[in-house]
Structure 1
Amino acid sequence: MRRAFMAAVPIVSHFKCRAPNKYPGAPKTVARFPVPNDKISWDVDYSEYKPPSYTSQHVIGAPWADRDVESSDLCFKFNQVDGKVDRRSFMGSYRVVDGIARNPIGRTGICGRGLLGRWGPNHAADPIVTRWKRTASGEKILKEGKPVLQFVAIQRKDNGEWAIPGGMVDPGEDVSATLKREFGEEALSCLELSAEDQEKIKKFVYNLFEHGEKMYEGYVDDPRNTDNSWMETVAKNFHDETGDAFNRVNLRAGDDAASVSWIDVGHEMKLYASHCDFLSRVATLRKAYY
């Protein structure tokens, strides 16, 4: 059994979800209430704290989302499996105040669900697919004496940022299935391929995802987070040591991605949410440049 490399060490960044600008996709008038570093914790008094409430119209009434808080029969089973929806957090039990979940890391400057479908934790899965960067003759390329890793990245359509090709875990879905599905949908689009080529890609994804190293599970510093809804993820590294597997498969951006590419791993990267933290852990595991 493969061990979960550093997965128990939490990533506690809480910066992108406190950015002092308007909430993503919200009207200009919806800006986060300022939350200084010393006022993040709910245990610290902050009597002036009056965050605006915002839930996107895209979320309200969506079949994949929770009912709105104004519903008179609102009753969720927080901190447990609620029907098929897993409302447990990787961070342990979180507080429920006035019947609504409270962000376990602290204040974000905005309440409601924002762009997220679930009250409480919204679970995602992030497949980190890597290979070694090589010369035309097949030699590993070194930087500062260490081999350079490359990972499959997609460019998000909503904000143009580069990211790991992850996605949301469907109710009742196993995380392993989500990892395979999201990578296939976002980085290996099959829409314009023949049935034979589609089958080849399916076999490739299945074989690659048979083995992986869990890099992290827990809270994600996501710009969509609010006081009542937040992102959590399971990030796994699937490494193609020889690079042979990808010689037979071309990367193709799916409907949710503007572009897809191999990107060099290093401290120079600028990625969405906590994705740089995940890649740093992969580099440490693989003894690669960072």
Structure 2
Amino acid sequence: MNSNQTIRNRTAPPKDITPPELMPAALAHEVPSWAEAAATPDQVTDWPDRMSRALVPFQLDHRGWPVNPGGSTGRTGRNLGKWGENPAADPIVVAGHGPDRQVLLITRSDIGLEAIPGGMVDASETAPAALVRELREETGVDLTDHTPVILGQDLVDDWRNSDEAWVSSTSALYQLDATVPAAGADDALDARWYPFSSLDALNDAVNAAGRTLYAAHRPLLQRALDYLSK
């Protein structure tokens, strides 16, 4: 046996992260309102349409199963609503200017971390509509009349990602002259404004509040800072 074979044999198999409610037997009995009925990717019938609409292009493997465009995650199965890409919308709301800038973050109820407000784009919903809806639902802030700057469409290192199901997000920047009242609701335990002159300043302020910044959102926040510094 050569060294490469030894390494492969020692590699642990992917961990199945599918929760009980998404197991085939459970789906046959009841499908959660937030999930599709397909117990396995081969039961999905609209892969060409999903691939054509994907925020981040992806391919299917020899079985016809979706392949995470970010590479192997070490996890298999599905802990998200859909197989393949799950589109999300992340509104980054910034108030003020220069060293006095602040950013609006929520405390996520699922992982207890400070994060950008946002969530999944509903079926037949556009990303701009989802940005407004998620922000309003989670913070009470209604920016319907504001036009954001779309910063990007990216694969997000979400804790629920697997090799066959993952999150890609449309991130957008909303700029306000001053902070507005915000309160956590829906999937948010809390909502508050933090200093946002730099990512380090934000991280320090979050830590000083006894909380932790969601690592998967750091690249999105840095992109907003880069845009603001132009």
1:99-158 Cα distance to aligned partner (Å, 9 max, x none) = 321111111111000x211100000000011012xxxxxxx6xxxxx5242111000112
1:221 is aligned to 2:191: no
8 Å Cα contact 1:223/1:273 also seen in 2: no
Q: Per the alignment, in what secondary structure is the counterpart of residue 136 of structure 2?
A: helix
Partner of 1:280: 222
One of 94, 97, 111 as aligned partner of 1:159: 111
TM-score by length of 2: 0.79
Map of 2:70 onto structure 1: 105
CA contact (8 A) 2:156 2:216 kept: yes
- The alignment's C-alpha RMSD in Å is 2.5
Q: Does 1:255 align with 2:186?
A: yes
Which one of the candidate residues 76, 84, 88 is aligned to 1:124? 88
How many aligned residue pairs are there? 205
CA gap of 1:281–1:70, structure 2 versus 1, over 3 A, is closer
Matched to 1:66, the amino acid is: E
Counterpart secondary structure, 1:217: strand
Contact 1:128/1:236 (8 A) holds in 2: yes
1-structure distance, mates of 2:223, 2:59 = 26
Q: For 1:54-104, what per-residue CA distance to the aligned partner results, in whole angstroms no more than 9, with x for missing partners?
A: 311244421331224359x813322424xxxx7743222323341321111
Q: Residues 75 and 167 (structure 1 numbering): CA distance in 2 closer, same or farther, change over 3 Å?
A: closer
What SS class does the counterpart of residue 199 from structure 2 fall into?
Answer: coil
The answer to which structure, 1 or 2, has the higher relative contact order (CA under 8 A, 6+ apart) is 1
Q: Which runs of 5+ in 1 are unaligned?
A: 1-44, 133-139, 141-145, 189-200
- Give the letter aligned to residue 199 of structure 2: H
Query: In percent, how many aligned pairs have the same letter?
Result: 31
Question: Contact conserved, 1:166 with 1:182, CA < 8 A, in 2?
Answer: yes
Q: 1:87 to 1:122 in 2, by over 3 A?
A: farther
1:55 counterpart = 2:18:
yes
Q: Of Structure 1 and Structure 2, which has the larger fraction of its residues in helix?
A: 2
Write the letter of the residue equivalent to 2:127: V
Hey, what does 1:13 align to over in structure 2? none
4+ runs of 1 displaced by more than 6 Å? none
Post-superposition CA distance 1:179-238 (Å, at most 9, x none): 0000000011xxxxxxxxxxxx65xx2223xx1111120211111100100000000001
Query: What SS class does the counterpart of residue 231 from structure 1 fall into?
Result: strand
Unaligned runs of at least 5 residues, structure 2: 1-6, 204-211
Structure-2 separation of matches of 1:276 and 1:70: 32
**1:259–1:87 distance in 2 versus 1, CA, 3 Å:** farther
Tell me how far apart the structure 2 counterparts of residues 153 and 104 of structure 1 sit (CA, whole Å).
Answer: 28
> Which whole-Å CA distance do the structure 2 matches of 1:123 and 1:220 have between them?
10
| 2:135 matches 1:183 | yes
Equivalent positions of 1:1-290 (< 5 A) are 46=8, 48=11, 50-59=13-22, 60=27, 61-69=31-39, 74-81=43-50, 88-113=53-78, 115-132=79-96, 147-188=99-140, 202=142, 205-208=143-146, 211-240=147-176, 242-243=177-178, 246=179, 249-265=180-196, 266-268=198-200, 269=203, 270-287=212-229
Counterpart amino acid of residue 112 in structure 2? G
TM-score normalised by the chain length of structure 1 = 0.64
